[in-house]
Amino acid sequence: MPQPAADIYIGVMSGTSLDNIDVVAVRFTQAGHVEPIARHSEAMPQDIKATVISLSRGHPVAITAIGQLDRRLGECYANAINTLLESASLRPKHVAAIGCHGQTVYHQPSGDYPFTMQLGDANVIAARTGITTVADFRRKDMAFGGQGAPLVPAFHNDLFSDAKQPTAVVNIGGIANVSMICPDQPLYGYDTGPGNMLMDAWIQRHKHQAYDKDGAWAASCSAYQPLLQRLLSDPYFSRPAPKSTGREYFNLDWLDRHLLAFSLSPSQVQATLLELTAQSIAMAIQPHEQGRVFICGGGAHNQTLMAALQAALPQWHIARSDDVGISCDDMEAIAFAWLARQTLYNQPGNVPAVTGASQACCLGAIYLPF
């Protein structure tokens, strides 16, 4: 297809944490640099969050509820994008495309009929914004036998292609994923396991708080090692890559089954869940002796978690992605802006070594605004 006249792209992300809709406008320069232009974030409506959690845990739901959720998420994304456009004095003609990941409601990359489902009607987004929209990124990779996730390592590799030392980019959202970029070695990456998801769910159950700010509750106690080792013995952590996971696997039902063998205080459990996140991330990085780690996602704001990661990886320099000019809150959204650009230029967006797909391919479907 013809190359777009505009050079600004918008990325939209609402992840497994289900806290915010993040929208970022960005320019990709010919020199390969990323120039963030504007951002907007707004809270995910609580009733939508509850419905998505119910779906991801396999609870029965009417097809009408799925259809309405798809439409409503499309409206939410479009409203957030239009708010960004207005605040940044951008017009639709200034934007080449929107890359919208959509809200994952179920991810099942194995079995006889692997599938992944992201909702958020891209037709609505294109119609409401007047901007070409690229969505449905994951299913092409799965059609070629891949996991459909994670997709961000391709962008991370582009961002750090000149790395002179082992470089890990770790996104800690609801689920954590790592991209490992090493000189003269193939790129690899995968979902390491729970990020903030279990910690958020546990503090919501016991303290009616959305998240553990700065990891303060987890820091009030020590991790209980027998529980930690039991959690880490789950087959997912020892399964070789490629692999991906989500809320449908790591949830409170999963945790409660493991807790039956113990009698612990809620704070002990929270401390152990934080250490589970840190240790499972470290397991993906430890095969390399030293290097640098850039953390993005909501977990980058958790100082207790950041300290636990540094303790688990003492030879590594750990910092937030802000140190390389990309806000830790924006990295994922920018990745999907980059993937939209790849699609418009008919370039691959997946990395077969990461996802397990049989070939590299151009991802996503293009929705025109007219």
In degrees, rounded to 5, the angle at the alpha carbon of residue 344 between the alpha carbons of residues 338 and 347 is: 75
Structure tokens at 260: 């039956």
Residue 53 is labelled as binding a ligand: no
Q: Is the pLDDT of residue 146 over 90?
A: yes
pTM greater than 0.75: yes
**pLDDT average, residue stretch 110-122:** 96
Give Cα separations from 198 to 48, 180, 208, 273, 315 (angstroms).
Answer: 19, 24, 14, 7, 28
**The predicted structure's pLDDT at residue 161:** 78
Q: What type of residue is 182?
A: C
**The predicted structure's pLDDT at residue 6:** 67
Q: Give residue 154's pLDDT band: very low, low, confident or very high (50, 70, 90).
A: very high
If one counts the domains in the chain, the total is 2
Q: Does residue 160 lie in a domain region? A: yes
**Residue where the block lists tokens 């770790």:** 170
2-11, 119-128, 340-349, 356-365: lowest mean pLDDT where? 2-11
Residues 243 and 352 in one domain: no
Residue 15 is labelled as binding a ligand: yes
Q: Is the pLDDT of residue 2 over 90?
A: no
Q: Is the pLDDT of residue 225 over 90?
A: yes
Q: Are 219 and 271 in contact (CB under 8 A)?
A: yes
Burial of 63 (0-12, 13-18, 19+ CB in 10 A): exposed
Residues 163 and 251 in one domain: yes
Q: Is the pLDDT of residue 30 over 80?
A: no
Q: Give residue 21's pLDDT band: very low, low, confident or very high (50, 70, 90).
A: very high
Residues 46 and 193 in one domain: no
pLDDT more than 70, % of the chain? 98
Residue 159 is labelled as binding a ligand: no
Residue 355 is labelled as binding a ligand: no
Q: What's the pLDDT tens digit per position in 96-107? A: 999 999 999 999
**The predicted structure's pLDDT at residue 362:** 98
Compute how many other C-beta atoms are within 10 angstroms of the C-beta atom of residue 209: 12
Q: Does residue 206 lie in a domain region? A: yes
Q: Is the pLDDT of residue 94 over 70?
A: yes
Structure tokens at 54: 């119910």
Residues 314 and 180 in one domain: yes
Task: Count how many residues are written for the chain.
Answer: 370
Q: Is the pLDDT of residue 4 over 80?
A: no
**pLDDT average, residue stretch 179-203:** 95
CATH number, position 46? 3.30.420.40
Residues 204 and 309 in one domain: yes
Strands 8-13 and 188-194: unpaired
Residue 251 is labelled as binding a ligand: no
| C-alpha radius of gyration, the chain, whole number | 20
- Written as one string, the DSSP assignment of 299-340 is GGG-HHHHHHHHHH-TTEEEEEGGGGTS-TTTHHHHHHHHHH
**The predicted structure's pLDDT at residue 17:** 84
Residue 47 is labelled as binding a ligand: no
**pLDDT average, residue stretch 246-260:** 96
Q: Does residue 70 lie in a domain region? A: yes
Strands 133-135 and 167-172: unpaired
Give Cα separations from 283 to 136, 198, 238, 251, 356 (angstroms).
Answer: 31, 19, 10, 21, 20
Q: What's the pLDDT tens digit per position in 262-299? A: 999 999 999 999 999 999 999 999 888 899 999 999 99
Contacts (Cβ under 8 Å, ≥6 apart) of 319:
292, 293, 294, 295
Distance, in Å, from the CA atom of 277 to the CA atom of 152, rounded to the nearest integer, reads 19
Residues 279 and 157 in one domain: yes
Distance, in Å, from the CA atom of 246 to the CA atom of 199, rounded to the nearest integer, reads 14
Q: Does residue 3 lie in a domain region? A: no
Residues 230 and 143 in one domain: no
Q: Is the pLDDT of residue 3 over 90?
A: no
Q: Convert 201-245 into a string of H (helix), E (strand) and C (coil).
A: HHHHHHHCCCCCHHHHHHHCCCCCHHHHHHHHCCHHHHCCCCCCC
Residue 20 is labelled as binding a ligand: yes
**The predicted structure's pLDDT at residue 31:** 65
Residues pairing with 42 in the sheet: 21
Contacts (Cβ under 8 Å, ≥6 apart) of 48:
69, 72, 73, 76, 103
Residues 306 and 224 in one domain: yes
Range of the domain at 237: 153-324
**pLDDT average, residue stretch 186-211:** 96
**The predicted structure's pLDDT at residue 103:** 96
pLDDT more than 90, % of the chain? 89
Residues 109 and 235 in one domain: no
**pLDDT average, residue stretch 27-44:** 90
Q: Is the pLDDT of residue 257 over 60?
A: yes
Residue 130 is labelled as binding a ligand: no
Compute how many other C-beta atoms are within 10 angstroms of the C-beta atom of residue 29: 9
